[in-house]
Chain A
Amino acid sequence: MLDLEPRAEPSRAMTLLSPVFALIFTLLVCVSMFLWLGKDPWQGLELFFVEPLSSPRALAELSLKVVPLLLIGLGLALSFRTNVWNIGAEGQFILGAIGAGGVALLASERTSAWVVLALLLAGTAAGMLWGGLVAWCRDRFNANEILVSLMLVYIAEQLLSYLVHGPWKDPQGFNFPQTITFATPTEIPRLFTGSRANAGMLVAALAVPLVWLYLFRTHGGFRLQLSGLAPHAARYAGFSARRSLWTACLISGGLAGLAGALEVSGPLGQLTTHVPVGYGFAAIIVAFVGRLHPAGVVAASVLMSLLTIGGELCQSRMGLPKSLTAVFQGLLLIALLACDTLIHNRLKLVRTARAPAR
């Protein structure tokens, strides 16, 4: 019989190998699901891992998914390291889109191109506001941040729905729940002509080293991590738990808001009820698969984007439901958490003759 034996020290090798094992497991399930559904598994895998990387155009589309996942995932990694369970990034993302949309509505064709900056700042601020609400409820009233942040997602969805059905509705939009298409200056510059990849990629690329520096090379980041790992030690050292809570919520909320703003000034160009597509929830998986480390989050956000685009391709080419993506993404996280057991434990063969440990 197999039993688990605690390791003296966490295994560094397993820390890195665990996501690989989890991915292999998910792929095996993926292949068996294709076989079960009577589809060619090789074609399926090709749609997930080859096609999205096969052309400059496909890569540009991939980058559009990576940017929001990466930004939100970075914030969540920081938040989870602080042991602050902000799982409402989807709501903060929506608020970011609303904030950016509000500024974009004020712009006209003659507005300076700098308006993009105002857009992004407004989105970030709106995301911070939503994240700050979570911190406030937890700090002032001791309310569980998991439930509060999640409830705020539903509230954000309704707020967006109200705006696009009501005050912000396009008067010439045939009564569709959507705003006007925002003026050209609100569009974030594209990186290459003829490609949808935009400067949001640079913003995300800049955020990675910044979050890394903050987490691992500043006193503030050290405080955050310590209050996550050892709250009592942090208090003994005189670090304020409240400050860590607020920092984690504001940074993760702000990054999610920035991601929402980038969506508005990038691929969307207007607000509709279809702004939220689950980036905020998928980013939870990104953060964990990326080992709550900025470099890992980069890799994980690419992987999760591949799964997203692969799912869309499976829908159009093989007639499979798009929710296939969510199934694989959820499985990936479950498998990862299970494999993570091996970081702190090793598998040991136990002779069944002995009474097994309960």
Chain B
Amino acid sequence: MDAVFLLLGASIDAGTALALASLGLLLNERAGVLNLGAEGIMLVAAIAGFATAFHTGSDVVAFFAGALAGAALAAAFGVLVIWLHTNQYATGLALSLFGAGFSAFVGIDYTQVKLSERTPFTLPGLQDIPALGPALFRHHYLVYLAVALAAAVSWFLFRTRAGLVLRAIGESPESAHALGYPVRRIRLAAVATGGALSGLAGAFISVVYTPLWVEGMIAGKGWIALALTTFATWRPWRVLLGAYLFGGVTMLQLHLQGEGVALPIQLLTLLPYLATIVVLVLISRDQKWIVVNMPASLGKPFSPRT
């Protein structure tokens, strides 16, 4: 039984980065912009955060650095696709390729660097509950922030006027434009926010979760975060749940390796990627379900002239 709770706790840790990034991507997809650059953004933010943590010794500054790097890259992406109407798929891909190269380039001096040991953040009182305490209440504070963020995004999207406008822009930018909303600026803000959260996720991975810098260390988590928004049919709480499930798959894999299960290690390593395909297949199988839930203008350019 203890092992199950241990696994639960570890899954929540592993899923947090996915949740942060995916909630951000959810916001910009709800506004109609698909950012395939998430992987590149997370890589650049990971090295930005790691280097900042190393030089300043402050995690908080490092998280801000990661979020800022992510927001800056996403804003550049946003200007290209929103104002210059470049193809969203191609531009996002370009950002991912650039991010992979750029992070490796600037990170070369940090590959041998270690950060100091971190003390886990705990909730006094609650952490002493047997079994559940260690599983749920002994995490880094960003883990709780991710839960709060899911609540905040859900509230913002479905309970505020600004959220309604954002969703309207994602469904029909033409109508929102006709009503006088600055569609392009709102989209840019959504994309930058998505980038900031992806960046925070990247910094979380390099500063807290691993904590070290290795070239290409995001290892597809940006792409999995993108898949998660579809998996969750663009709903914040489902994103969080999906992120923990994927965290669970990642952890299960490590656990099985640790237990010495007689399966080749490669078979276990590919589990999260295989799970992503399986989940995509299962979710997308019912086309109507996707069409009904997907923001109608997702991936399509909008020009106020036409």
Contacts and interface: CB of A to CB of B under 8 A. Distances in A.
| Among B226, B280, B282, B290, residue most surrounded by chain A Cβ atoms (within 10 Å) | B280
A166 interface: yes
Overall SS of chain B's interface:
helix
Interface size on A, as a range, is 35 or more
Contacts of B89: 85, 146
B272 to A, nearest CB: 8
Contact of B264 (A87, A152, A166): A166
A281 B89 CA distance: 14
Contacts of A357: 304-305
A326 B104 contact: yes
Contact of B304 (A325, A340, A358): A358
A129 to B, nearest CB: 15
A76 B264 CA distance: 33
A338 B97 contact: no
Contacts of B95: 330, 334
Interface stretch (A55-63, A153-161, A198-206, A212-220): A153-161
A326 B290 contact: no
A244 to B, nearest CB: 17
Nearest to A156: B270
Interface in B81-118: 83-87, 89-91, 93-95, 97-102, 104-105, 108
Given A150-B223, A162-B266, A337-B87, A155 B274 contact: yes
A3 to B, nearest CB: 10
B87 A155 contact: no
A341 B82 CA distance: 11
Overall SS of chain A's interface:
helix
B55 interface: no
Nearest to B270: A158
Interface stretch (A38-46, A94-102, A104-112, A136-144): A136-144
Contacts of A159: 266, 270
A150 B222 CA distance: 11
Contacts of B104: 321, 323, 326
Contacts of A331: 98
A327 B266 contact: no
B270 A326 contact: no
A285 B94 CA distance: 8
| Among A150, A159, A338, residue most surrounded by chain B Cβ atoms (within 10 Å) | A150
Contacts, number: 144
A144 B99 CA distance: 23
Contact of A147 (B80, B223, B269, B285): B223
Given A87-B93, A144-B280, A6 B305 contact: yes
Given A151-B276, A284-B93, A326-B97, A143 B86 contact: no
A323 B97 contact: no
A162 B268 CA distance: 11
A161 to B, nearest CB: 5
Interface in A324-358: 324-331, 333-334, 337-338, 340-341, 344, 357-358
A337 B277 CA distance: 29
Given A158-B269, A337-B87, A337-B90, A323 B305 contact: no
A341 B273 contact: no
Contact of A141 (B84, B87, B230, B285): B285
| Among B94, B267, B282, B290, residue most surrounded by chain A Cβ atoms (within 10 Å) | B94
Interface in A282-305: 284-285, 288
A148 B279 CA distance: 10
A329 B287 CA distance: 37
B61 interface: no
B102 A330 contact: yes
A165 interface: yes
B94 A337 contact: yes
A315 to B, nearest CB: 10
Contacts of A158: 266-267, 269-270, 273
Given A142-B287, A154-B270, A338 B277 contact: no
A155 B275 CA distance: 11
10 contacts: A141-B282, A146-B89, A151-B276, A158-B273, A285-B94, A288-B90, A327-B102, A330-B102, A334-B95, A358-B182
A-B residue pairs, 10 tightest by C-beta: A326-B101, A330-B98, A323-B104, A162-B266, A158-B270, A333-B94, A158-B266, A341-B84, A154-B273, A337-B86
Given A326-B98, A330-B40, 11 more contacts: A141-B282, A150-B223, A151-B274, A162-B267, A281-B97, A284-B93, A326-B102, A326-B105, A330-B98, A334-B98, A340-B86
Interface of B: 36, 40, 80, 83-87, 89-91, 93-95, 97-102, 104-105, 108, 182-185, 215, 219-220, 223, 226-227, 230, 264, 266-267, 269-270, 273-274, 276-277, 280-282, 284-285, 287, 290, 304-305
Interface of A: 4, 6, 85, 87, 137, 141-144, 146-148, 150-152, 154-155, 158-159, 161-162, 165-166, 281, 284-285, 288, 321, 323-331, 333-334, 337-338, 340-341, 344, 357-358
